[in-house]
A and B are shown apart, each in its own frame.
Chain A
Amino acid sequence: DTGVSQDPRHKITKRGQNVTFRCDPISEHNRLYWYRQTLGQGPEFLTYFQNEAQLEKSRLLSDRFSAERPKGSFSTLEIQRTEQGDSAMYLCASSLQQGNTEAFFGQGTRLTVV
């Protein structure tokens, strides 16, 4: 499969625990995005990378959220001290160059905080 892959597909965690998600973009894509999607809403921008550089992090995102893309290939999104409000689908997408080309989405990681 040469598309964007995300792992795990589903994660159930207890409130207060830390979780980490992984995204493997399409290999030649140097742009990588993280979004959060709740039921009935559009993908909400979290952060994005150009190669290994994190270009922007949403101001709505608390300090409990951090993302990395250490070698400019795969990326990880960590949520510390999870809260029930963190329950959502976390989507990763990648694209070529400056982002004005098609962004391909992974299948997402569904997080449930109990």
Chain B
Amino acid sequence: GENVEQHPSTLSVQEGDSAVIKCTYSDSASNYFPWYKQELGKRPQLIIDIRSNVGEKKDKRIAVTLNKTAKHFSLHITETQPEDSAVYFCASTDSWGKLQFGAGTQVVVTP
């Protein structure tokens, strides 16, 4: 089955700097890679996603890249702000559409 690994587990950045989170997956049939943000005590919410026919996608300060050959994908947050502090989860779906999550990255943006 699919296995998603996520690094780092914690990330502390100065406000205005960039944050990068990396994930790897094992199932070569995986075709959908969403990223979720979870604030304390709240439900996970989608912030950006990418499908296997695309190598990069950007939405304002957030971008995701996908390398299908290497089976890894990354989340990039530029010009970080205090409200970016949260736990971020990567995920991937296998050929059956089963959604599996990474262990999460705690991002702390310090003023």
B residues whose Cβ falls under 8 Å from a Cβ of A? 6, 31-32, 34, 42-46, 49, 51, 89, 93, 96-104, 106
Contact = CB atoms under 8 A, between A and B. Distances in A.
Which residue of B42, B44, B100 has the most chain A CB atoms within 10 A of its CB atom?
A: B44
A29 interface: no
Nearest to A104: B46
Given A41-B103, A105-B45, A99 B6 contact: no
A101 B93 CA distance: 10
B43 A99 contact: no
Nearest to A110: B41
A43 B49 CA distance: 17
A79 interface: no
Contact of B96 (A56, A104, A107): A56
Interface of A: 31, 33, 35, 40-45, 48, 50, 55-56, 91, 93, 95, 97-108
B58 to A, nearest CB: 18
